[in-house]
Amino acid sequence: MSGVEAVDPRSIERSGRGSDLRPVGEGATAGALATLGFLILHAIAISDIWFSAPMMLVTGAACGTCLSWSHASVFAPGTTSTWVTWNTAQTGLLLLLGLASLAVFSPQWSMAELMVDEPPLGELFGQALPLMAAFTVIGGIALWAAFSRRASTLLSVLATVALLVLLLGHNAAIIGLVDIPAGGYYLVAEMLGLIIVLGVSFTAIALLLPGSSLRSTRRSS
């Protein structure tokens, strides 16, 4: 006898199927925790928005789920490096959306109009929707072409970009529709900075979770 135990291929297959959902659960958890941190930071530095906490926590978990799903789909298996790269690329897309809004749109509303009790946000988002849709398709295909090019991964990439643009990028998409005074660009920088903080904290939390599969996985040689 060689001393090497035979391995049942079916047990490996079953194990692989069972572990597929683990990164997705970690992404959902990290998304909710990163959102909680965002709410605390926003309350300390800007204003109290705890009234929206339930909806935002669900949104954070949904975005985290999609990010982990698409990462696991594109990088099989993934590593710490691919996880950081993937989330950096997704965060970068949201920042580019803000720059695209400034380049494409002409201001339609003043900053003062957005500060009233009933701001015209519905109209702003309606005007920005075509840009958001086009950006989702172009950005999603660009990421897919850069990192995968496998037909089986296209859906997860497009779905992730669509969800992030809709739930997190809508404020960036309306920047170009607002007439921002010279002294008001710090608000734009603040908003884009919060997107970066949210992306960085989500990426880090997922890696720091106990027993994180995103931290422990390695590419096979």
Interval 29-87: pLDDT, tens: 999 999 999 999 888 877 888 888 999 999 999 999 999 999 999 998 789 999 999 99
Question: 156-169 pLDDT, tens per residue?
Answer: 999 999 999 999 99
- The domain tally of the chain equals 1
Query: Do the domain assignments include residue 126?
Result: yes
Query: Do the domain assignments include residue 161?
Result: yes
Query: Do the domain assignments include residue 111?
Result: yes
Query: Do the domain assignments include residue 203?
Result: yes
Query: Do the domain assignments include residue 13?
Result: no
Q: What is the mean pLDDT of residues 109-132?
A: 82
Strand partners, 179: 110
Query: Do the domain assignments include residue 121?
Result: yes
Query: Do the domain assignments include residue 83?
Result: yes
Query: Do the domain assignments include residue 193?
Result: yes
Strand partners, 110: 179
Give the model's pLDDT for residue 13.
38
Structural domain harbouring 156: 20-215
